[in-house]
Amino acid sequence: MKRKALVAAARAAAEHAYAPYSRFRVGAAAVMDTPEGELVATGANVENASYGLTICAERVALASLFQMLPAGATPRVIQVAIACIDAPEDASDEARVPCGACRQWLAELAPEAIYYVDGVARDLALPDLLPLAFQLKRKPRSQRARARVEPGASRSRHSAASSKSV
């Protein structure tokens, strides 16, 4: 998808944001490559009075991609656009890019994507947003072993200490 069209989709998504506390509406549009062609999901930030429960536009868009796929499949995200429609025109690039939590989501779910940030002139790659991103090496499902806990083992260390009277 063309940069201009994807940024426009992110800007349109931002119009649906619920941001009564920060008054900083953000929209995101993510493009997934499928055998049938490209699919786009958009998202907007939704704030909560308990700030930790707020969800960002980027995470809404990425999570929406999973609903477009068969269960258990992971989307192949090729482009992501982010638009902060309430950012002042003279805002720095740092004021326009995703937050740290969203960058970590992008590192895991869209590591090869091209990123377009409204108001930032150049296209970005993940290392531009999150150098030295935290990553865990995942084993294929067939190689994952479930941890076995012997009956009573998980409490044994704590049981002795907690059963003593003081």
The pLDDT tens digits for 11-55 are: 999 999 999 999 999 999 999 999 889 999 999 999 999 989 999
157: left (phi over 0), alpha (psi -120 to 50) or beta: alpha
pLDDT at 154 over 80: no
Indicate which residue of 36, 58, 89, 108 is catalytic.
Answer: 58
pLDDT at 58 over 90: yes
User: Residues 74-103: what's their mean pLDDT?
Assistant: 95
Give the pTM.
0.81
- Residue 156 has phi, psi (to 5 degrees) of -55, -45
From CA 45, how far away is CA 97, in angstroms rounded?
14
User: Residues 48-63: what's their mean pLDDT?
Assistant: 96
Q: Are strands 77-84 and 26-34 parallel, antiparallel or unpaired?
A: antiparallel
User: Mean of the per-residue pLDDT values for the chain?
Assistant: 86
pLDDT at 149 over 80: no
User: Residues 122-127: what's their mean pLDDT?
Assistant: 96
From CA 103, how far away is CA 82, in angstroms rounded?
12
pLDDT at 166: 40
CB 81 within 8 A of CB 9: yes
Q: Is residue 15 annotated as a catalytic residue, yes or no?
A: no
pLDDT at 155: 42
pLDDT at 117: 98
